[in-house]
Amino acid sequence: MQTNIEESIKLYGKKIDDLLIEIIPPDRDDYLSEPIWHHLRTGGKRIRPAICLITCKELGGNPDEALYFALAIEILHNMFLLHDDIEDEDTMRRDQPTVWVKYGIANAVNSGDYLLARAYHCILISPIPSEKKLKLLEIFTLTYEKTVEGQALDINARGATDYTVEKYLELVRLKTGYYLACGMVGGAVASGNADETIDKIWNLGKLMGPAFQIKDDLIDLTVGKGRGGVIGSDIKEGKASFLYAYTSELANSGDKASLIEIMTKQRDETTDDDVKHVLNIYNRYGAIDHAQKYADDLIKQTYDIIDQIPTDNKAVFRDIANFMSQRMT
């Protein structure tokens, strides 16, 4: 059976957007609507919530039962963007000043807090039985908590000099793994499937997290991130990528010293030559090839799990795995 993930995302995206306006009214005079909608209007493709609804449907459930949870995931995602932009001192997002730049840190922290309250509210008013609702609240809280734990590692890993692939994977498992799995798991819970299937969906998501993140790290070095496809933003930011982790472990002392020197430079002090130099070091140790293979192997592992999921339409889940391990903004 063939599927078209992008079409489903578009279809469900409309439902999500309608409910979003209901849950977070855009025009309230409360010093929250304005900063939040300044951020929400910058876009977002509603991929996470759509995948929640697709999963629910493909596992035999009614997507309307997962709709409020799906939106909660989308709200959580945006709450993290608001707080992460403060924490990472990012001044621009999708060509607009970030909320903390435009409305101040106080309003940005508080607006993020408000989003989280509305995400919980959204799950609490879901039209589903109590036991399912409690399960969704547990999944959501676990995901929220683990992502924050991952963010704590991330904040404090910038410029780390003793970085390893193991540390990288731990960070990514926490910061991205639960987060990517959460929507699918919620869809599975809403569909009423057995715990055994739900566990498989968790495992699926936990493999997709690192796969997505490693691919994202590679994109920075191949087609580039952001406008104009500038190569090496992660290097300029000193982001501890898979490439950096892998090379740090293998490099001789001279190369390692070079790497650390460049990665710990301030963003605006890192030159294009510095970026090229780091790329050369990565290539010298075969890091880019290794990262590609590592991510592909993770995707292969997700296929093995998908084979065990009780659905006739395994192609949808393979498409989701492929789609989510590609670039997602």
> Based on CB atoms, which residue is closest to a second copy, 31 or 37?
31
Paired sense of beta strands 96-97 and 92-93, if any: antiparallel
Contact call for residue 106 and a second copy (CB under 8 A): yes
Contact call for residue 121 and a second copy (CB under 8 A): yes
> What is the per-residue binding string for a second copy in 147-176, x denoting contact by CB under 8 A?
-xx-xxx-xx--------------------
Rounded CA gap, 204 and 299, in Å?
9
We find the least distance from the C-beta atom of residue 290 to a second copy, in angstroms, to be 28
Among 67, 116, 160, 165, binds a second copy (CB under 8 A): 116
Contact call for residue 195 and a second copy (CB under 8 A): no
Residue 192, judged by CB atoms within 10 A of its CB (0-12, 13-18, 19+), counts as: middle
Residue type present at position 311: T
Rounded CA gap, 230 and 140, in Å?
35
We find the least distance from the C-beta atom of residue 88 to a second copy, in angstroms, to be 7
Rounded CA gap, 47 and 323, in Å?
10
Among 7, 22, 95, 131, binds a second copy (CB under 8 A): 131
Structure tokens at 165: 């692939």
Rounded CA gap, 286 and 215, in Å?
16
Contact call for residue 15 and a second copy (CB under 8 A): no
We find the least distance from the C-beta atom of residue 79 to a second copy, in angstroms, to be 9
We find the least distance from the C-beta atom of residue 188 to a second copy, in angstroms, to be 19
Give the binding range for a second copy (CB under 8 A) out of 55-63, 114-122, 191-199, 206-214: 114-122
Rounded CA gap, 143 and 172, in Å?
13
The SS3 call for residue 225 is: strand
Could you identify the residue written with the tokens 């290794």?
290
Contact call for residue 30 and a second copy (CB under 8 A): yes
Give the binding range for a second copy (CB under 8 A) out of 66-74, 112-120, 224-232, 307-315: 112-120
Among 48, 57, 77, 118, binds a second copy (CB under 8 A): 118
Structure tokens at 117: 């309250």
Contact call for residue 307 and a second copy (CB under 8 A): no
| 147 phi/psi in degrees, rounded to 5 | -65, -40
Rounded CA gap, 306 and 322, in Å?
12
Nearest to 138 by CA among 130, 305, 210: 130
Number of residues that bind a second copy (CB under 8 A): 39
Rounded CA gap, 46 and 234, in Å?
25
> Based on CB atoms, which residue is closest to a second copy, 120 or 323?
120
Rounded CA gap, 7 and 210, in Å?
25
Among 15, 48, 77, 133, binds a second copy (CB under 8 A): 133
Residues at the contact surface with a second copy, assessed by CB under 8 A: 30-32, 83, 86-88, 105-107, 109-114, 116-118, 120-121, 124, 130-131, 133-134, 137-138, 141-142, 144-145, 148-149, 151-153, 155-156
